[in-house]
A and B are shown apart, each in its own frame.
Chain A
Amino acid sequence: MFAGKKNLPIFTSEYTILMNTNWKSKPFVRVLLPFVLGLLWREFIPNSGLFIGVSLFSCILGLLLYAIYPFRRHIILGALLMLFFFTVGFFCMKWSTGEEHLNYFIHYCDPALDRAYIARILAVHKKENTTQYEIAVTGVRRDSGSIADLSGRALIYLKGEHNSFFPGDKVAFTTQWRHPAPPPNPRQFDFRKYLRYKNIESVGWVHTNNIELVYRDLFSWRYRSAKARRLCIRLLERYVPSPDALAISKALVLGDKSGIRPEVKTTFANTGAMHILAVSGLHVGIIFLLLRVLLGFFPQFPQYWQQLRGVLIVVGIWTFTFVTGMSTSTIRAATMFSLIATGLQFYRRSDIYNTLSLSALLTLFIEPYALFQTGFQLSYLATVGIVYFYPLFMSFFNHSGWLSRMILSSLLAGISARILSFPLVIYYFHQFSFAFLLSNFIVLPLAFVILILGWGTILIAWISSGISTQLGMILNGTAGLLLQLLHHINHFSYLRISPLCFSPVVLCLLMVSLGLLLLTISYRSKKIFYTLLLLLTGVHLVRHVEHTTLEHSPRLVFYAAKHPIVDLWLDGRLFSRREGYSGREEHYATEGLRAYFGATPIYLTTDSFLTIGERASLHFDWVMYGDQTIVWLKDRTLPVKQATILVIPSREMLEEVNLTEFPLLKNVIVYDYNNNSMPYDNYRLYDANLTFHRVTAKHAVTINLSSL
């Protein structure tokens, strides 16, 4: 991820002391650990009473020990400081939740009285058919009297493309707030959780006529930043002709991902090059490197120039952040790199881990929920991986040739960036691609070139549009080339392990074992190494148990989707029956569960007749497995008498079926998308043992065949 910076002094002997186990130089690393633990405690055990009890108890214990025990008192004090940061972490997390605030806007919302909500726009996201505004609500307006000074974030959707408002604007709008429900299907993407980690609880649709600008501060930094970004986008649009190249260069240079087609996105994701599309550490790193090289041409200049250089680099980084729209990830990266630059300039001996920890600490202080955001986790893990492993790997090789060195360094940077982050990548994206080994060679230099060309085009456009046109053509070609090459790499599908998934338990165990790996290398301790091996065996065992108990237990999963989809997990294989195809929606509903078990479905068709040994035979409308017979009831056709599980496609049809015709019937599954309120009690009269399951738009049904 950060291979572009390979020539920086950060990675040379002066800065990184390999296998540095000296805790003295890392106060922030030491404090970060209890702080993060505090955050995690609040997230997973939200009971504050328990927490206060535990921390008070340990605090009193520490003080008592301090009073009684005469030796090593500073260590007890140190432990108390750790405890303090642990507590601070807990309360930071607690207080960052909207509900905890006295003036949280949902407490004051009353749909009957509210005429309009007043909010400040924080960010604008353009999606395919909608425009999303992330807002901070500041007030409610009513006929009788308004309430001002409210707080809390929300998300509003507007239909179509909407360009009238910028970040920083104050708007008035009317909407009905709703709180997203948990996902209906097992292991589906949890939008509610995603929003919660952005500190958002409520969303609302707003009609275009019901939103209006109240106040625009022409000199607010948010507005200026958005305006500057839009100007730069216009310039790029003028000089880069082909749409795909334009979208890629817009994403790379200005962090505007809106124009990229989904297919292009998939190509980037499959080849492990997605990180260059989001403006983040890589881009800020390249700018940082560029500024260092540009400003480093005058080593003979006097001392104050050397001091000024550091300031100029920081200013340059923040200008870049400003123009790319001040997104959270860019601000985070800019914080990190300005701290690094400051460290390099003024304290030459400073420790990179310490600097990184400080930036993480500052970010988490301001927005504790960032800890659970994918971008934050991946970028810090990748950075730490590079900082730690890259010099280690490079020290094994002793190549003098520049080409071999370049190839090697790009390879090793790619590998070391992924060592610490791979469990998370698999956990979030359900695939792991080794294509980065190939794509790194292409992506990093080309990203560098595109970034420079893009900025060249934009800056020179002020002076001469002729040169800019030429530069734009070159940029167009370069971006096109990047896309072409990635397309070719995408064809090597064997480089991609997909679908692949870890359960949270496995993820935790893997992260702990990666931490142990770092400790093993740092301390060269055999004890830790054996613990690591033990833990890895544990990971393997857990995965084995998970898969044997879950994968091989025969199950039926009735998904809640637009068209009825049923997954049959029989003898470790996955069969799927679907009526109609709803494209992306079906993918969203089923992808999570299928990826979790790493299975690709075999689709049953109307004329399929499959057998698995003698245990099972599968048709489109009926399936026999052991002593279970599953029958799909269709338009009152002749039913199969020995059915034990009956699937009825609609609530109305249930009325017409005579359930006494099925003597062996145990389970009835009814698709009830219209949410009919007719009682089910009448049907229980036929047989007390009969169980009804309803599949609704908000509720999927799983039936375990082995437990019947």
Chain B
Amino acid sequence: MGDGNSNASSSSRAGNSNNNGNNRPEWLQQYDLIGKIGEGTYGLVFLAKIKSNRSKSIAIKKFKQSKDGDGVSPTAIREIMLLREINHENVVKLVNVHINHADMSLYLAFDYAEHDLYEIIRHHRDKVNQPINQYTVKSLLWQLLNGLNYLHSNWIVHRDLKPSNILVMGEGDEHGVVKIADFGLARIYQSPLKPLSENGVVVTIWYRAPELLLGAKHYTSAVDMWAVGCIFAELLTLKPLFQGQEVKGTPNPFQFDQLDKIFKVLGHPTQEKWPTLVNLPHWHADVQQIQGRKYENAGLYSVVHLSPKNPAYDLLSKMLEYDPRKRITAAQALEHEYFRMEPLPGRNALVPPQPGEKFVNYPIRPVDTTTDFEGTISLQPSQPVSSGNAVSGGMAGPHVMPTRSVQRPIPMGMQRMQPQGMSAYNITSQAGMGGGMNPGGIPMQRGVAAQAHQQQQMRRKDPAGMTGYHPPQQKSRRF
């Protein structure tokens, strides 16, 4: 984002009555707002285009003021300060930071990525009904590891890798390039890493490493590698590898079901293979619950349908090594034999270099055009929007998939927009037009935010809602 001072522009004309009813911040003038593409705990994500260069799409992530009336959201601060320091092809690029002084909210502008692994996997599972081709899997995985290796060598642990946080660029110079996103939970190792639960943060458990499930207090880069292993398997099978039922409760509850799912596939961890296992709090606390069970080693290879001799299987099993100290690192994984055999990984993961391979047209991200930057919903029916230039250009973009783009108008009372794809920026669904920008700076704002917060708390009790995956009811809701 270049020079912070000149880019951290301020604004939002607000409070005064002589602004022709236009409550938009001044910096907003440089963007054409297309609509809302995500919504969650910290705020909303919008799709916009830069007016001076309409071919350029930008995702704008809006952070509300922190809920407890304690100034700028710490999550936003963390994400910005890390992203200011890093620069890598496989990490999402923060291009600007904008401030709305009226309600002390922050807007982070990123290069827009049309796809994410969550949507790509879902498309293959539900629409294409066939696996992702080998070239694409390998290229996605290689680029993910490449970005992660960069982060780890800069002492940054992501801590919340999951398919929806792994973005893939659509049409353009960077078509098919992987971008690791959402650094709201990322940490520099050097500072003491508090357990996520202590920060009051809730993330999906499906990609959580066993040492964390067993109560390890310290995060290492190995937790990210476990998540990569889970994502690798999901790319191969189109199903989450360890789909445990999350136990809700305070704080850091013992996730028995998640461990159970892991042990069923990988067998029981032993002290022999994982000497520090006995030091983990939950191992002792739940000796009977865990160790009382007999686990047949079902065999990872049968779950992912790979021969144990296959290098892909070898790499996967090294990522899913129980002992975090023995788990393969990102740097080692990049050197693995799997990446040196055909098909070789490429920069455009979505389009294989060889002709003849079937090209999959991935759907574009749904956009809710009824919501503006303030988070207020206008009462127009939503429009299908292409990634190209649909709104103002009128021409359909090259990737328009009609079946995908059609959206239902969102009923006002519902307040829950298209959950699919919304999780791309890790803002799991949340109720709320409230808590948005309050241009007048009227005290009501805080009350509304508090209300939204309550709703969100309630939603957290819904197991499906917080995983970032599809709550079951949405499957039937669609189409």
A pairs with B: no
Binding site for A on B (CB under 8 A): none
